[in-house]
Amino acid sequence: MQKKIIVLAIAAALTAPAMAFADATVYGLAAMSIDMAKDGAATNSTSANQLVSNNSRIGFKSSEDLGGGLSTILQMEGTVGMDVGTTGTSLFNRNTFLGLKSNDMGTVLVGLHDTPYKISTRKLDVFGDTVAADNRSAMGVKIMGSNHDSRLGNVIAYISPAMSGFTVAAASVFGAETLPQPAAPADKKGSAMSLAGMYDNGPIYAALAYQTIKFGDAGTGDLGSATSVDDKATAFKLGGSYKMDAFTVGAVYESMTYTDNPASTETKGTNLYLAGKFNVSSSDAVKLAYGMRGATKTAGNDNKDKATLLAVGYDHAMSKATTVYALYSKLSVDNIAGTAADPSALSFGMKYAF
């Protein structure tokens, strides 16, 4: 259960005449696991027992009713390394934004946020916030360094209200323009556009998403790159799930293209993710997932680089807030640079949401 607190806002100057108070909500997730992992290297394979914090986080939410169904919304969220007691590379490195919400017109927000492309299929990952999460496994193996399930800064986004189960979302990334301009005025700024349509009604969930990213020069913001300037990455994704009594099944298909400029050389690839969950009881569930990253093709030539994921797990809900679980995950990789051949993990974990 979320806890209400009073956050004290102190004026910047010591001579400030007053102090302001605002209602805020503290929320978060503590997710820890003991992982018995093997790197699966073809030679000199190693193993280790690890204590891991799986996307543990803490956040603050606040809102103000402006009347007429309009409100100001604020959120600040950051990663917490529960295993070593540290925060992320910055204090608020997760969804952090300011916006306006209308009951009739929808929500507009600016800041750091998951793209609509990422949001559209997050709920289909049955192993979220564990070692077997799809953005850490076969679906997360990048094509030419581009993983479209991303969180970007300098975002302005719109999310519609639900209309008979339908929701649309759109986001654009500013090019990180600065004043004064860089020493080389010709420096190119990166940009991105992300679109998603989602239907959530009864036992059916469906999502369709598209995203395009254009990379800029190094030092020009989140989408700046020393090696990928002027390159372009696009992706299309279709996903859905269906609930039948105790069973829930889901699937995601993704198609991606990376254009290496100025040669306009295209690398194409596809991902497939299948998942199922069976509620053994009101507090217990068996889960299974299979992911496949197909071999990419560059200028029509097969690169013979691919990966598959198999994960199976068991959850036990001790309460609405606390869940313990056990899972086994294995990733089989062929010819993908920087990734061990067949890494695997046996994981025992606990999650507490507040």
Q: What is the pLDDT of residues 44-76, one digit of tens each?
A: 778 999 999 999 999 999 999 999 999 999 999
| Residue type at position 108 | V
Residue 242, domain extent: 3-353
7-34 pLDDT, tens digit each: 333 233 333 333 344 579 999 999 999 9
Q: What 3-state class would DSSP assign to 339?
A: coil
Asked if the model's pLDDT at residue 186 lies above 80, the reply is no
In angstroms, the CA 190 to CA 220 distance is 7
Phi, psi of 13 (to 5 degrees): -100, 145
| pLDDT band (50, 70, 90) for residue 4 | very low
Alpha-carbon distance of 201 to 241, in angstroms, equals: 11
CA separation for the pair 205, 338 (Å, rounded): 35
Q: Residue 297, Cα to own-chain centre: how many angstroms?
A: 26
Say what the pLDDT of residue 228 is: 64
**Alpha-carbon gap, residue 241 to 272, rounded angstroms:** 14
Taking residues 249-255, report their average pLDDT: 96
Q: Which residue has the higher pLDDT, 128 or 85?
A: 128
Strands annotated E in 160-296: 166-173, 191-201, 204-214, 216-217, 224-225, 232-244, 247-260, 265-279, 284-293
Task: Say whether pLDDT at 180 is over 90.
Answer: no
| CATH number of the structural domain spanning residue 213 | 2.40.160.10
1-10, 89-98, 184-193: segment of lowest average pLDDT: 1-10
Helix and strand tally (H, E) in the chain?
1, 23
How high is the mean pLDDT of the chain?
A: 85
For the chain, what is the domain count? 1
pTM: 0.85
